[in-house]
Homo-oligomer: A and B are copies of this chain.
């Protein structure tokens, strides 16, 4: 679904039939694994790791644009995105992290974190779904464990 169907798009912006609302709290859904539930957000690891280290921080409640959030929600959400970014930094050692809120296919507020590695082209647009790269169950579990450990302050003890 996109804005090419304007009536459905406006309804989805207001939360009607929003696929994120249905499945972002699940431990696993067809697209991703839950990494953590925080106060304002759910952190998810996409199954497709073609862009290695791609992580999503989705607002728990339905909203479309940043200005729809209260000051407290906005503040809390970005503290959480920053915490997840710190975890991505510790686990994947990027030279830069890219942060993006698009919502062009599902207008439920979520921020993509894309770690940029030194071998990447800094001018290239990010196409995280240009190919599909799936990991083993054990590899997903290891990444999730490491991200969780940074977020709860126990990373040094597991490395």
Contacts and interface: CB of A to CB of B under 8 A. Distances in A.
B3 A122 contact: yes
Contact of A9 (B64, B95, B105, B125): B95
Interface string A101-134: 1111101000000001010001101110000000
Interface in A68-113: 69, 71, 74-75, 77-79, 81-83, 85-86, 89, 95-105, 107
B78 A104 contact: no
A65 B75 CA distance: 16
A104 B98 contact: yes
A4 interface: yes
B122 A125 contact: no
Counting every copy of the chain, the complex holds 2
Contact of A97 (B65, B71, B86): B65
A66 interface: yes
A68 to B, nearest CB: 9
A112 to B, nearest CB: 9
A29 interface: no
A104 B122 CA distance: 5
Interface of A: 2-4, 6, 9, 64-67, 69, 71, 74-75, 77-79, 81-83, 85-86, 89, 95-105, 107, 116, 118, 122-123, 125-127
